[in-house]
Every structure is written in structure tokens, then in C-alpha cells.
């Protein structure tokens, strides 16, 4: 256990799990969408659903979708900010789902040209874990520079991506590939130790059979 686990992050709100973690989840969902969200359906599960309103989880997830950080004073007025910026949102609660972490949220987002579904949980101390993207099982924290690719499941894709990273001297911290069926669509998440060059997204988009690339840093 490190000091961050004990004292938690600098934040607005009473709970690192229910407030700071919820902001970070919303922010990650926004980054995965890759553009300003225009519509959002958020489902809060278990502890998030039962005690979230009292701890400000409802405002926190909206604040994250707006791009706010956990220490942003505007979290308190996130609903008003969302209306001002044209974000149409719906909040729902599902109080019991024992298959999920107690502090879990699912985001169904639409932007001008993109849509996505992201599920994640707040695991304490303001830390979070993304567990699903568009029906693919994943597991990453968003604490490292991150690459997400949606691509055809075929030999050579992973090797092509990692070769480009090696060429730039970028070390992989962890990587996971998920697919629904052999030879169809797959999703890969790579977290790196090193900052990603601005051109990396375009480089990877030019690899044959890669359909979409998302890159971001914390």
C-alpha cells in the first residue's frame, strides 16, 4: 500500500471512490469516445447506485464526461455545465449486480460522428479500471499513455503495431487483446511507459485492417 491509497487524491467531494474515481471514469469514457459527447446514458451499479447521490457520484460522472479533473470546482455545477454545453444525459441506477465491482458504471456515449459503450469501476484512492469497451473485455487503468485499436483478427496486426512502437523506442507496460470470434473484429489495449509521439495515431491508422485507433495520456 502506498501513501496515495491512504490519503487519496486532491479532489472536490467527500469520497475518493465515489467522487474522484467517478470523475476519472467519465473522463476515460470521453477519451475513448474520442470527441465531445452529445448524448450520454450512464448506469450506476451497486454501491454507486445506493449511495452515489449523497457522495456526488451523479455529478462526478457528468463532470468527467465534460473533461473536468477531480479537483475542478465546477464538479458541483456539472449538471448546469452539461446543459450549457449541449450534453443531453440520462442517469439510471441498478442497485444489485453481484457479478460487478461495487463501484461500477456503464457509459453509452454518442458524439457528432462516433459512439461507444464503456464500463469501468472505481477501485479506491481515486483509482479506476476500465473493464469493457463495446462488448470487448479489457482491463486498464488510464494511468499510462494508452493505445486502443479496433482491427480485424488476423496474423500480423499485433506484430505491426509493436514494431512501430519499438522503432520509436517506446516500451510496452502491458497489453491485452480481446476478440469475440476468430477472424472477426478484435480490440487491443496497450499501455506504455513512454509518451506517445503525436504522429503515432496516424501511423497506426495506416496499418492494413486496423479500423480505428484511439490514443491518450492521463
pLDDT digits (tens, 9 = 90+) for 116-143: 999 999 999 889 999 999 999 999 999 9
| Greater model confidence, 204 or 14 | 204
Query: 146-216, which class in CATH?
Result: alpha beta
Of 12, 19, 13, 16, the residue nearest 3 (C-alpha): 16
In this predicted structure, what is the pLDDT of residue 217? 86
Cell numbers describing residue 103: 463501484
| Greater model confidence, 53 or 88 | 88
Region 3-134: CATH code: 3.30.1330.90
In this predicted structure, what is the pLDDT of residue 85? 96
- Average pLDDT of span 91-100: 83
Alpha-carbon torsion 202, 179, 131, 29, what sign?
positive
**Mean pLDDT, the chain, integer:** 91
Task: Kindly report the pTM of this predicted structure.
Answer: 0.89
Cβ neighbours of residue 84 under 8 Å, at least 6 residues apart?
A: none
Output the DSSP codes for 91-158: EEEE---TTS-SEEEEEEEE-SS-EEEEEEEEEETTEEEEEEETTEEEEE-SSS-EEEEEEE--TTHH
Cell numbers describing residue 44: 450506476
Task: Quote the CA–CA distance of 207 and 161 in Å, as a whole number.
Answer: 8
Of 45, 25, 29, the residue nearest 126 (C-alpha): 25
Q: Which pLDDT band, with edges at 50, 70 and 90, does 55 fall under?
A: confident
For the ranges 8-12, 25-29, 171-175, 200-204, the lowest mean pLDDT is seen at 8-12
Task: Quote the CA–CA distance of 194 and 200 in Å, as a whole number.
Answer: 12
3-state secondary structure of 213: strand
pLDDT digits (tens, 9 = 90+) for 4-30: 443 344 444 445 566 899 999 999 999
Domain boundaries, given as residue ranges, for the chain = 3-134, 146-216
In this predicted structure, what is the pLDDT of residue 7? 37
Amino acid at each position: 500500500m502506498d501513501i496515495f491509497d491512504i490519503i487519496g487524491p486532491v479532489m472536490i467531494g467527500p469520497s475518493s471512490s465515489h467522487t474522484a474515481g467517478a470523475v476519472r471514469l467519465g473522463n476515460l469514457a470521453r477519451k475513448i469516445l474520442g470527441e465531445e459527447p452529445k448524448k450520454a446514458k450512464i448506469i450506476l451499479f451497486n454501491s454507486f447506485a445506493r449511495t452515489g447521490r449523497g457522495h456526488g457520484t451523479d455529478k462526478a460522472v457528468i463532470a468527467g464526461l465534460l473533461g473536468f479533473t477531480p479537483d475542478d470546482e465546477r464538479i458541483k455545477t456539472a449538471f448546469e455545465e452539461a446543459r450549457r454545453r449541449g450534453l443531453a444525459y440520462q442517469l439510471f441506477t441498478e442497485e444489485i449486480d453481484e457479478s460487478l465491482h461495487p463501484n461500477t458504471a456503464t457509459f453509452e456515449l454518442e458524439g457528432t460522428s462516433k459512439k461507444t459503450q464503456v464500463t469501468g469501476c472505481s477501485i479506491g484512492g481515486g483509482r479506476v479500471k476500465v473493464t469493457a469497451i463495446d462488448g470487448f473485455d479489457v482491463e486498464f487503468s488510464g494511468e499510462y499513455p494508452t493505445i486502443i485499436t479496433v482491427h480485424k483478427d488476423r496474423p500480423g496486426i499485433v506484430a505491426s503495431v509493436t514494431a512501430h512502437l519499438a522503432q520509436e523506442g517506446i516500451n510496452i507496460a502491458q497489453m491485452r487483446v480481446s476478440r469475440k470470434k476468430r477472424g472477426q473484429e478484435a480490440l487491443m489495449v496497450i499501455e506504455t511507459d513512454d509518451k506517445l509521439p503525436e504522429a503515432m495515431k496516424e501511423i497506426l491508422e495506416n496499418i492494413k485492417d486496423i479500423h480505428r485507433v484511439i490514443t491518450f495520456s492521463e
